[in-house]
Chain A
Amino acid sequence: MQIRKNQGRVVHSSLSFIFQVVEMGGSLLQKYDATTASFIPHRGVTPLVLQPQLIVSDPDGTVATADYVSQMRNVSWELTLMSGGSSSTLPATSGAVTNYAVDSTTKRLTLFRNVQPQEVVHVRFFGQYLDARRNEVFDFEWTRDCSTEVQTDLNITLDTGQWRSKVRMIPMRRWGQFGIPVQLKNGPENIADADASYQWQWWNAATNAWSEDFSEQAWLVSGEQTKEITVDQDFIQDVRLRVMAIAFGNVNTAQYFTTRLQRWYGQFDYDVEFLRGKYIFHDTDTVVLNAWVANAKGKISSPCMYFDMELFFAIGTGDFESVGYGEEVIIKRNGLQGGQPKAGILLRELSAFRALCEDNGTPLCLDDGTPLFAQFPTKSRQV
C-alpha cells in the first residue's frame, strides 16, 4: 500500500525596497568661474561620489533589514556625454586621464571629470536584486544629469592703501627711492600675482596721452610692470602716474589708479643777516653775510640742497651787487665806511634733477655714457 502524499508551500511575503543614490563630496551641479577659468570644485581634486544604497526589509523578518547593494547583480553605470547636439558614451578613461571609476564591491561611482559649461553628462545606474526565495528579480534604475553653471559675479577692486590721487613731496623730507604699492582684490581677498597683471603708465604732456615707454624717465627705478612701482624723489618735479591692473587676463576687469607726484615746498620764510659788519667802524674791512630758510619745523639745514641762494650787498645808496651763492658770503674790501651796509637775498626753489641737454635736445653724457643731471631754479632771476 502506497503513502499518499500532499505538498504544502512556504509562503514568503514580498520584500520591501528603498533604493537611493547618495551624493557624497560634491554635487551634480558644478560651478565654473569664467573669469578665473576654474571649476568649483575641481573634480580632479575633490571628486563627486555617487553611492547607491538598497535597503531591503522583510515584513516577516526572515531577511534582515540592511543595505544589500553589494549583492546587486548586473550593475552598470553608464555616462553619456552630450555636447553640441551630439551624444557619446563617456569612457572610464581617456588616455592617461581617469574620467570616472566604479568600485566593484560597493558599486560606488567616483566622477573625476569636470563637466564643461556647454556639456551635460547623463548618468544612469542600473542594477538588479534577486529574491532567491521567491525567485523574483527586481530592477532598479536611477538617472541624473551633471551640468555646470557659469559664474562671473566678481567684485574686483584695486586697493591703493593710503596712496592718494595727489601727493606733494616736500624736498626737505627725504623720501629717497620709494614704492607705490597697489593690490588687486576680489571681494576681500587678494588676487594672486599669477592671476593679475599690472602696467604702470605716465602722462606724456607732449603727446597728451598715457605712455608705457619709461626709457627716458630718470625718476623710474623699477617695477613698471608689477604691483609696486619704485620711483626716485630726486628726479620728480611733476609726474602723473597711472596703473592699469587686470585680473585673470580679462580686460573687462581692468582697474585704474592715478596719482600725481609733485615737488612742493610749501610755506617757508627766509632772510639774510650780518654775522659781521652790521656796524662799520673805521677799521672794518670785512662783512660776513649769513642767510637762512625756515619752515614750520624750524630752520632748514643745508638749505643750498633745496634752494638757489644768491646774496647781495650794497653800501649807502649804491646798487645791490651779487656777492655770491650759498648760506654764507664773506666780503672783504676797502671803503666800507662809505655808507650804511645793506644785505639782500634772492631765494629760488630748485627743481628736481633734470638731464642736461644740448640745444638740439641731445643729452650730455660722460665718456661712459652716463647722462648728466642738474638742478635749476624754478623761477627766472629778477633783480
Chain B
Amino acid sequence: MNALKYYIISHRDAARLGLTGYRQGTPEKGYVVHSGDFVGATEDFLERAKLVSEQEALDFIKTLKHE
C-alpha cells in the first residue's frame, strides 16, 4: 500500500486543477492537496508542488486558522 503524499500548491495550480472549492488554503499561501488530486494532471503540476509530511500539512493548516 503506497502511502498518500501531501503537497502544497499555488493558488493558480489549485484553481487550474479545480481544487480551490474544497481543499484548505488561501490564495496567498497556497492549498494543501494530496497525491490523488493530481490524477489526470500533467507532470509539471507535480514538479511545482511542494511535498510535505502529514504533520507539516497539519501545521500549515494551523497557520491558516490563525490568520
**Chain A residues engaging chain B, CB cutoff 8 angstroms:** 24-25, 33, 36, 38, 40-42, 44-47, 49, 110, 151, 153-154, 186-187, 189
For residue A45, which residues in chain B have a CB less than 8 angstroms away from its CB? 6, 24, 32, 34, 54, 57-58, 61
The number of residues on chain B lying at the interface, defined by a beta carbon within 8 Å of a beta carbon of chain A, is 19
Across the A-B interface, how many residue pairs have beta carbons closer than 8 Å?
50
Q: Which A residues lie within 8 Å of B57 (CB)?
A: 42, 45
Whether B1 contacts A38 by the Cβ 8 Å rule is no
CA distance A33 to B1 in the complex (A): 9
Give the docked Cα–Cα distance between A143 and B3 (Å): 30
Is A49 a contact of B2 with CB atoms below 8 Å?
no
Digit string of B1-32 for contact with A (CB within 8 Å is 1, else 0)? Answer: 11110100000000000010111100000001
Does B36 make an interface contact (CB < 8 A)?
yes
Known contacts A45-B34, A46-B33, A189 near B2 by CB under 8 Å: yes
For the complex formed, measure the closest distance between the CB of B21 and the CB atoms of chain A, giving whole angstroms: 7
Partner of B36, one of A38, A41, A153, A187: A41
List the A side residues contacting B19 at CB < 8 Å. Answer: 25
Minimum distance in angstroms from B65 CB to a CB of chain A: 9
User: In the complex, what distance in Å separates the CA atom of A36 from the CA atom of B4?
Assistant: 12
Partner of B23, one of A25, A33, A36, A38: A25
**Which residues from B are CB-within-8-Å of A110?**
22
| A47-B22, A110-B22 as given contacts; A42 in contact with B1, CB under 8 Å | no
In the complex, the answer to whether A41 meets B34 with C-beta atoms within 8 Å is yes
Distance from B39 Cβ to chain A, minimum over Cβ atoms (Å): 13
CB neighbours (8 Å) of B61 from chain A are 44-45
